[in-house]
């Protein structure tokens, strides 16, 4: 039996072996027990045994049905623990990429400071162990790459504790789905991203290209760079199209109908309104939209940069 979807990471064999071991034992037990039960129904039916007989205990049988399952669960424990220890032991030479999860975005931060959002995904070199500290900005998320057999909760850090972590080593180039596997609110499904596994040469070229592009954007339009890194464009377009939230285009200086505490009123979109929409997004909701945006923790300077970028997106 081979249902393997290809060996994409160093964990596949261990995880798949444990899975098929348990699956096979379960099937054998199901067939064996059900088969014996059906056999007994006929063999010991009233028709075949008109007079009931008394059954005494059987020490030999009891030893067998205690010893065999004990051996089976020890087998499962051995292979499970072996895989688990490997998945929790990060190799010394691993490359660190910080993972931040929030409602409802991912952020991947590289050792050189490069940041990638949900849409851009996580790009890694092949055959390189990647250490991923997992930080949550709000609720519990789960970092899940099915093809790599990696699934780890991203838990908000209680005081005095450490962030959770995971690691993997991709052994096949390609694009793989990355999900959030913990229901984390209305737009949980939006936390769908990709892991791009490149050859080492392609990765180095990609990293250099992305880094210089990001530096250029940060100096030319820090507001746009920030909105990009925070994943804001997943909900707010720059071209006037309506996605989950209002478009940024032509927003500044516009009259909007907003709902405040259930009452409609007209407001002018100015600096103060944009600032409030970032820090307290659910206070005045633009009519026709859902109050789902979480507050964005940003500094005063960052708010000024964001407003400057929104001002640039004027209606033609």
Backbone torsions φ then ψ of 294, nearest 5 degrees: -80, 150
* Helix%, strand%, coil% for the chain, nearest 5: 40, 25, 40
Q: Closest CB to ligand CUA among 178 and 258?
A: 178
What's the distance, CA 260 to chain centroid? Answer: 34
Shortest distance (Å) from residue 56 CB to ligand CUA: 57
> Shortest Cβ distance from residue 4 to ligand CUA (Å)?
27
**Cβ distance to ligand CUA smaller for residue 17 or 179:** 179
The 3-state DSSP class for residue 258 equals strand
Judged by beta carbon, residue 91 or residue 156, the one nearer ligand CUA is 156
Minimum CB–partner distance for residue 176 and ligand CUA (Å) = 18
Listed residue (187, 115, 107) closest to 154, CA to CA: 107
Q: CB-wise, 99 or 191, nearer to ligand CUA?
A: 191
CB of 183 to ligand CUA, least distance (A): 6
Beta-carbon-side half-sphere exposure of residue 1 (alpha carbons within 13 Å)? 8
Closest CB 156 distance from ligand CUA, rounded Å: 12
Shortest Å distance, C-beta 184 to ligand CUA: 3
Compare residues 120 and 218 and give the one whose CB is closer to ligand CUA. Answer: 120
Give 118 or 120: the residue with its C-beta nearer to ligand CUA. 118
> Going along the chain, which residue ranges are E strands?
95-96, 98-102, 105-109, 115-117, 122-125, 129-136, 141-145, 150-154, 164-169, 174-180, 193-198, 255-260, 263-268, 284-286
Q: At 156, give phi and psi (nearest 5°).
A: -60, 135
Provide the minimum distance between the beta carbon of 138 and ligand CUA in the complex, in angstroms, as a whole number: 9
CA distances for 95 relative to 43, 89, 145, 153, 189, angstroms: 64, 14, 18, 20, 28
Comparison of 100 and 182: residue with beta carbon closer to ligand CUA? 182
Q: Give me the residues that bind ligand CUA (CB under 6 A), please.
A: 101, 104, 141, 180, 182-184, 188, 191
Cα gap 148→77, rounded to integer Å: 21
């Amino acid at each position: 039996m081979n249902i393997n979807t290809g060996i994409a990471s160093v964990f596949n064999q261990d995880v798949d072996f444990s899975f098929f071991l348990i699956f096979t034992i379960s099937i054998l037990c199901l067939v064996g027990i059900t088969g014996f039960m059906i056999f007994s129904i006929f063999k010991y039916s009233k028709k075949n045994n008109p007079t009931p007989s008394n059954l005494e205990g059987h020490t030999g049988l009891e030893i067998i049905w205690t010893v065999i399952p004990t051996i089976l669960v020890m087998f499962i424990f051995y292979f499970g623990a072996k895989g688990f220890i490997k998945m929790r032991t990060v190799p010394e030479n691993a490359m660190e990429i910080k993972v931040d999860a929030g409602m409802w975005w991912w952020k991947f931060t590289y050792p050189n400071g490069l940041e990638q959002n949900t849409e851009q995904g996580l790009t890694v070199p092949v055959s390189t162990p990647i250490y991923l500290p997992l930080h949550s900005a709000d609720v519990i998320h789960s970092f899940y790459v099915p093809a790599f057999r990696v699934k780890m909760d991203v838990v908000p850090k209680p005081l005095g504790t450490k962030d959770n972590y995971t690691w993997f080593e991709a052994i096949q180039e390609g694009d793989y789905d990355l999900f959030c596997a913990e229901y984390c609110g209305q737009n949980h499904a939006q936390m769908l991203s990709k892991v791009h596994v490149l050859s080492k040469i392609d990765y180095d070229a990609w990293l250099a290209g992305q880094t210089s592009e990001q530096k250029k954007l940060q100096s030319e339009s820090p507001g746009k760079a920030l909105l990009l890194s925070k994943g804001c464009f997943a909900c707010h377009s720059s071209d006037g199209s309506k996605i989950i939230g209002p478009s940024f285009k032509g927003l500044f200086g516009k009259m909007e109908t907003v709902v405040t505490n259930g009452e409609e009123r007209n407001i002018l979109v100015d600096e103060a309104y944009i600032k409030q929409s970032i820090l307290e997004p659910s206070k005045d909701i633009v009519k026709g939209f859902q109050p789902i945006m979480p507050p964005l923790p940003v500094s005063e300077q960052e708010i000024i940069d964001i407003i400057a970028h929104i001002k640039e997106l004027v209606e033609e």
